[in-house]
Structure formats: C-alpha cells, structure tokens
Chains A and B, each alone.
Chain A
Amino acid sequence: MIIKKNHYLFFGFIITALVLSIAIIGFFWTPNNPNAIDSSNRFASPSTKYPLGTDNFGRCILSRVVEGIGATVLVAVFTLIIGFGVGLIIGTLTGYYGGWVDELLMRSGDVVMAFPSILLALVFISITGTGRYNVIIALGVLFIPSFARVVRGEFVRIRELDFVHSAKIMGAGPLRIMLVHILPNAIPVLLRFLAIGFNNAVLAEASMSYLGLGVQPPDSSLGRLLSDSQPFLFTAPWYALSAGVAIVLLILGFSLISEGIVLPRSE
C-alpha cells in the first residue's frame, strides 16, 4: 500500500472532509431550527434566510440536510462497526479453520441473507422499537453475513498461498498467521468491500426510513429527506436534489478514498 501522488485520495479526502465537517457542524449549529415550521414560507425558493429554500412545511431544507447528513453518517458508521466488526471475527475464524463451524456459520449466514430483509427489519423493530439507535442495531446485524462471507473468502484464498505455508512451517501460531500474514494481504479487498458496505448502509438507512421503520419524523435523515421530497420532485427539484447530492457526495468521497488507498502493488 504505497500512497503516492494520488488524485483519488486527494479528492476523496476533500469531499469526505467537506461532508463530514458539515455533519459535525450540524450537530452543534444549523442555519435554522431544522424542525421549525414556517407555514407562510412553504416551498420558498432559495434565499438568504433559507439558503436551499424550504420544504412543504416551510422548514429550512439546508438545516434539514445538514442534520440529515449527520444522522445518516452516524447510522452508517455504527452499522459498519457492528457489521464489519462481528463479520471480521466470524470470517477470520471460519475462513482460517474451516470445518463444521465454518459450514454452520456460513449456512446460517445464508439463512440471514436469504431471509427477506424487510421482514427481518420488522421483527427487529417490533422487538427494539423504532428510532435511530434501533436502526443501527438492526442494520448492523443484517450486514454481518455479507462481511463474514467476504472475509472468509479472502482467508480461504490466502491461507493456501505459499507464504502462509512457509509461515506455518516456520512455526508461527494460528493467531499470528491470521493477523500478521493473512489479514494484511486481505486488506485491499476488505477495504473495497467496506466502501461498498458504507454505500449499502446509507442506502439501507434510506429504505428503512422510506418504509417508516428508520428515523422517525420530524427528525431528519438523508433517507427520510429523499422519501419526503419524492412527491415534490418536479415542483421543487432542489429539495430532492440536495438530499440526493448529499448522499452521492457522501458515498463518492468515501469510495474515492478507498480507491486511493488500494493502489496496485505493481506501482
């Protein structure tokens, strides 16, 4: 992993820093109260008071987008932490050791993946209740199998390579082989999947909120904004567009960074 003069990384960092700093500022300050209703100023075009105009309630769209980015980033990051964290452990162990535990875990992964996620989400939500933190738990668990599968795939591939065999012959313990020999070699692929996973987490949050299972109104998240703005796509395109662009930038920045880190070894 040599980071050289690297446009991906450069632009990725700039975009992500921009979006994240907006999100962080949004935790402390927004131009207007994102939930304050101004019924005399509905669907206002962008102005100095409302830089991105207002929505159907007369709420400041910019403030809602800023708040929404924060909420979505929070959900996505914690979803990845749970999903990737647990997935990595499961994938590492099963990928390295194989055997019936591997078989069992991979098959139960199949079960979770084959189970309609909406039904699963509904079950989670009816146990834990709706709201931001419950969405994180539900999505995190949903993400475990796909990560575990990818990690396992990489481990299975690498554990058969010559240098792993050599390490074994030289007496390295399993933990050392896993962490020192195999894991670093798996990182490029894992990072690529992390980018896709982040992407999926953001979209999953959107679908959950779209189905009314995620962040509850009046609170904002990018998913809620997208579904809220849908009916006004033609009349107030900037509403849907600002939420859509925020999502695109968020995902774009993140995946550019990962693209930048994962440079070909041939360079």
Chain B
Amino acid sequence: MTLKYILKRVGVFVVTLFVISTLAFIAFSIIPGDPVTRMLGMNASEERIVEMRSELGLDKPIHTRFFKWLQSFVTGDFGKSYSYSIPVRELLSDKVLTTASLSLMAFVFVLAISMPLGLLLSRYSIISSKGAKSSFQRAIISAATALNQIIMSIPPFFTGIIITYVFGLILRFFTPGAFVPYSGNPAAFYAYLIFPALSIALPRSAMVIKLIRGSVLNEAGSDYVRTAYSRGGGQWYVLLVHIMRNALIPVINFLAMTLSDIVAGSIIIEQVFAIPGMGRLLLLSISNRDYPVVQTIVVIIASVVVILNLLADVICQYIDPRIRIT
C-alpha cells in the first residue's frame, strides 16, 4: 500500500465519477422527454416553454451545460431542483440519511444473520460430508439448505409485502405507511426502518449463507485443510483459521456487491414501505427529467459503489496476499 497506489486509486475514483456523470448527462439527452414540457404540462403555450427553457439555461448546447454544471458541482453547488425549486443539497440531505440508514441497517442484518448461520451450516456440512454423522444431522442440514434455497428464491418486494402484511397488518408491530423522518423522532425513524431492512436482508442473507457454505465446502477438500486436520486442528479451528481465510474472498466480493446493490437498489423496498429515500427520489427525478437532482444522486451512488469495490479489493488482499494489488 504505497503512496503511489493510493494516488492511483484516487485518480481512478475521480475519473470514474467524471465518466459516470458525463454518461448520465448524455443519457438524458438521448432519452425522450424534457423537464420544461414535463413541468408545464398539457396547457402550456409555446412561448412559455421557450421562455422557461432559457430561464433554466436549457437552450444552451449540451457541452456548455455540462461544463457549467461540473464547474458549480465541484465548488459544492449542486444546483436547484427543477421540480421542487429548492436547492438539491437541501432536498437530498434527509433522503441520503434515510437511505444510508436503511442500507446500513440492512447490511448489518445480512452480516448478523448470514455469518453465524453460514459458519454453523458450513461446519456441520463438512462433518456430515465426511460420512461420520447421524442421519438426523443430515436431515437438519438438508432442511436448512432447502429453506435457505426457498428464501433466496422469493423476490424482495414480495418479501416486503408479506412482512408488511404479517407484521404490519396482522401483528401490528409497526404501522405501514407511517414513516417518521429522522428530524421528527430518531427512535421512531429507526424503528420504522427495521422491517424494511429485514425485507432487504432476508434474501440476501440466504445468498450469502449459500455462498459461504459453497465456498467452504469447495476449500474443505484442499490439501492444506487435510494437513491442518492431520496436525490435530479442531473442526472450528480449521474452519475459522484455515478455511475461512480462502473461502472468504468470494464472500467479501459478494458482500461489497451486496452493499452497493442495497444502496443502488433500495428503490423497490422504499416503494413498498413508502419510505421517502434517495432511490425513490431518483426514480421520480428521472421521470420528471430533473437533471440537477439526478446528476447529484448518480454521483453519490457511483461514489458509494466505487469506494466499496475498492474496500473489497483491499480487504481481499489483506486476507490473501497472493492477490496483488497493482
């Protein structure tokens, strides 16, 4: 981890963000639809449209607009939302907090569920595969993997709806649709996010459990594992110290992907649970053609994804020095 390396990654980071925001800008000029006609609706006069377009600077060519946007963006001025007429920074501050809290909570749930269960399942899977265990244990493992498979196969918004129905409407653990903003009551805010976070976490935990188990079993036959056993290492010791070191690499890659997926893909759960977060704002702003908002959200999401990938690379290298970071 030299200075050169750090500089390089920062450079890549900046270039990636630049490319992404450029692409987003270009994307907007490709897709049909226009913020002004969208805002003025069906009863707009031609003159008014022309007037408003020049008010917003949309009559300028795309590269002029892009560099103007870029210039103010790097100086920390994110612009003003077309549709809400309020500064993007103000509009986004709440939404970012909401989505970040939701995503982190979901991620913590994924870890809390998948790590212990994944390891437990792996450990007993190894034993049973050595043919030394009872049929009862085999049955438990089969049942657990089957259940895992089923949970993995349920689409997230379906999970969301089921959770809302069961915990919201029947058991009344929470009131669907009664979202409380952080500024209103932080405790109620986090309480409301528990079930949405759980809906995100469940299928993903199942995927991680499956991945851990598969990865562990894949490693379990390697020579170094046999050696470790033959040297008298206990089941848990070999699993945690020797196997996990290698088995974790795909898992960590997947976890990094999962977290960025959760952030980027929070839209559906935000919809199902009526949470006013960043994903829903992105969806709305895209359909309103609200460039300043979309650009900012795109950059935020992109930063998160790139940073997480970087983090995954670094951790993998730390675990397995054979993977060289160049």
Chain A residues with a Cβ under 8 A of chain B: 7-8, 98, 103, 107, 110-111, 113-120, 122-123, 126-127, 146, 149-150, 153-154, 156-157, 160, 188-189, 192, 196, 199, 203, 206-207, 226, 230, 233, 244, 247-252, 255-256, 259, 262-267
Contact = CB atoms under 8 A, between A and B. Distances in A.
Given A119-B24, A157-B323, A196-B207, A149 B217 contact: no
Contact of B153 (A119, A255, A264): A255
Contact of B257 (A103, A146, A262): A146
Given A118-B283, A157-B249, A160-B322, A247 B30 contact: no
A8 B142 CA distance: 9
B16 A199 contact: no
Contact of A189 (B165, B215, B222): B215
A118 B279 CA distance: 10
A251 B305 CA distance: 27
Contact of A117 (B24, B30, B211, B264): B264
Given A188-B214, A192-B210, A255-B149, 8 more contacts: A116-B297, A160-B322, A226-B158, A230-B161, A252-B153, A259-B214, A264-B220, A266-B129
Contacts of B149: 252, 255-256, 259
A127 to B, nearest CB: 7
Top 10 nearest A-B pairs by Cβ distance?
A: A265-B221, A264-B217, A114-B305, A114-B302, A251-B153, A266-B221, A160-B322, A252-B153, A126-B31, A248-B153
Nearest to A237: B165
Contacts of A233: 161, 165
Interface string B103-132: 000000000000000000000011001100
Contact of A120 (B27, B150, B158, B249): B27
Contacts of B314: none
B67 to A, nearest CB: 20
A127 B31 CA distance: 8
A194 to B, nearest CB: 12
* Interface size class, chain B: 35 or more
B12 interface: yes
Contact of A110 (B30, B161, B282, B309): B309
Contact of A207 (B20, B24, B142, B268): B268
Given A107-B12, A252-B150, A188 B218 contact: yes
Contacts of B250: 150, 153-154, 189
B288 interface: no
Given A118-B267, A160-B322, A266 B130 contact: yes
B156 interface: yes
B142 A206 contact: no
B135 to A, nearest CB: 12
B302 A265 contact: no
A115 B309 contact: no
A212 to B, nearest CB: 10
A196 B208 CA distance: 11
Q: Is chain B's interface secondary structure helix, strand, loop, or mixed overall? A: helix
A115 B24 contact: yes
A150 B253 contact: yes
Contact of B305 (A113, A230, A264): A113
Nearest to A256: B149
A110 B298 contact: no
A17 to B, nearest CB: 17
A248 B154 contact: yes
Given A153-B249, A189-B215, A110 B158 contact: no
Interface string B150-177: 1011111010010001000000000000
Contact of B20 (A111, A127, A206, A255): A111
B214 A189 contact: yes
A122 B218 CA distance: 40
A263 B218 CA distance: 8
A107 B16 contact: yes
A265 to B, nearest CB: 3
B286 interface: yes
B322 A123 contact: no
A262 B214 contact: yes
B305 A116 contact: no
19 contacts: A7-B142, A98-B326, A107-B12, A113-B257, A113-B260, A114-B306, A115-B23, A117-B264, A118-B267, A118-B282, A149-B253, A189-B214, A189-B218, A192-B211, A203-B156, A207-B268, A247-B155, A264-B218, A266-B220
A111 B22 CA distance: 11
Given A116-B301, A255-B152, A127 B30 contact: yes
A115 B218 contact: no
Contacts of A156: 323
B32 interface: yes
A159 to B, nearest CB: 9
Nearest to B154: A248
Contacts of A119: 24, 27, 286, 294, 298
A126 B158 CA distance: 29
A143 to B, nearest CB: 13
Contacts of B320: 157
B210 A126 contact: no
Contacts of B158: 226, 244
B81 interface: no
